[in-house]
Amino acid sequence: MEKSKKENHLVFSGVQPTGNLHLGNYLGAIKNWVNLQKTNKCIFCIVDLHAITTSENRQEIKKNTREVAAAYIAAGIDPNKNIIFAQSNVSGHSELSWILSCHTPIGWLNRMTQFKDKAGKNKEKAPLGLYSYPVLMAADILLYKSTHVPVGEDQKQHLELCRDIAQAFNRNYNHNFFPIPEPVITGKATRVMSLKDGSKKMSKSDPSEQSRINMTDDSEMIRKKIQKAKTDSLPFPNEILELDNRPEILNLINIFAALSNLSSEKIISDYKIKDFSAFKKDLSNLVGEEISKISVEMKKLLEDESYLDTIIKKGSERADEISEKNLKELKNIIGFFGA
């Protein structure tokens, strides 16, 4: 992002309150937000309306909402400078989602791979909300006229759809109402993979606790998980080209790179003369230092529910103000009575 333009930037992103926040959420998204807040206006949402699209995530939403707020703050997001809020507390999200759904061809939604993955073979029984989820996500972003959206790589297709919807709306009404938001997919670990299977994304819903490092893990748990992380029978790679067919090693090196700010080349040259156990030991220390600091802070914050509730409530009020103003302008453009 160019410095001179930052005055007009509005950064928006969100995490679902579905429990088990993990290293992928941190490296793919939240860690980058901590940097972006220094020079940009930012809105960080806890997307609880998205969390109810699948039945297994409908329990404990309130608890998980507080957990996400605690993770944001513990990772270094300043709740006074930025807006932290719960999506369901701002009705504009659902309202804009409906309006945008009227401007979204079904063919565009049929291309969404996440729906295909999540609905699986049981497409006929999948809820409509799971199918139209990307339209709600576009509404989240466009409601605030956001310009930049920092996310992990798995959200790229949804952001492309969001841009298409914004352009379609602007074209339909011959009005440059929505800025076309830029995806910000940065860092060295935009797609963190499972510690048990390098072909699968690290995910909140993986039944194996060993597959992910949770943001609430302490350094001992982290050490054990990294020690047991899957590798292969070959020695530590000699050069970067060898990583093409070694997804588990590539993943661990990417995590190392993201946390140490060293290039993959430098990491390989440092460890090729050592062995995997030395690499894993240093990786455990790196992850342990950064994540356990966050987990200690999260635990402290979670003990003070009323503090977290006040942050979310105040943030929701600030978000609602922007939402109301933008929706009024948008309804006027559409030509609704009374707008």
Select 50 or 163, whichever has its Cβ closest to ligand TYM.
50
CB of 156 to ligand TYM, least distance (A): 8
| CA–CA separation, 116 and 131 (whole Å) | 9
What are residue 214's phi and psi, to 5 degrees?
-85, 150
234: exposed, middle or buried (C-beta count within 10 Å: 0-12, 13-18, 19+)? exposed
CB of 43 to ligand TYM, least distance (A): 10
CB of 15 to ligand TYM, least distance (A): 4
| CA–CA separation, 305 and 67 (whole Å) | 10
| CA–CA separation, 69 and 323 (whole Å) | 20
| Catalytic option among 196, 204, 314, 331 | 204
| CA–CA separation, 90 and 225 (whole Å) | 39
| Catalytic option among 31, 41, 201, 225 | 201
- Residue ranges binding ligand TYM (CB under 6 A): 12-16, 24-25, 28-29, 47, 50, 137, 140-141, 149, 151-152, 154-155, 190-192, 201-202
Select 47 or 301, whichever has its Cβ closest to ligand TYM.
47
DSSP one-letter code for 42: E
Annotation marks residue 331 as catalytic: no
| CA–CA separation, 303 and 292 (whole Å) | 17
Select 115 or 279, whichever has its Cβ closest to ligand TYM.
115
- Report which residue's Cβ sits closest to ligand TYM: 28
| Catalytic option among 118, 188, 230, 272 | 118
Beta bridge partners of 184: 150
Annotation marks residue 118 as catalytic: yes
CB of 137 to ligand TYM, least distance (A): 4
Select 29 or 166, whichever has its Cβ closest to ligand TYM.
29
Annotation marks residue 204 as catalytic: yes
| CA–CA separation, 203 and 25 (whole Å) | 9
Q: Catalytic positions, please?
A: 118, 201, 204
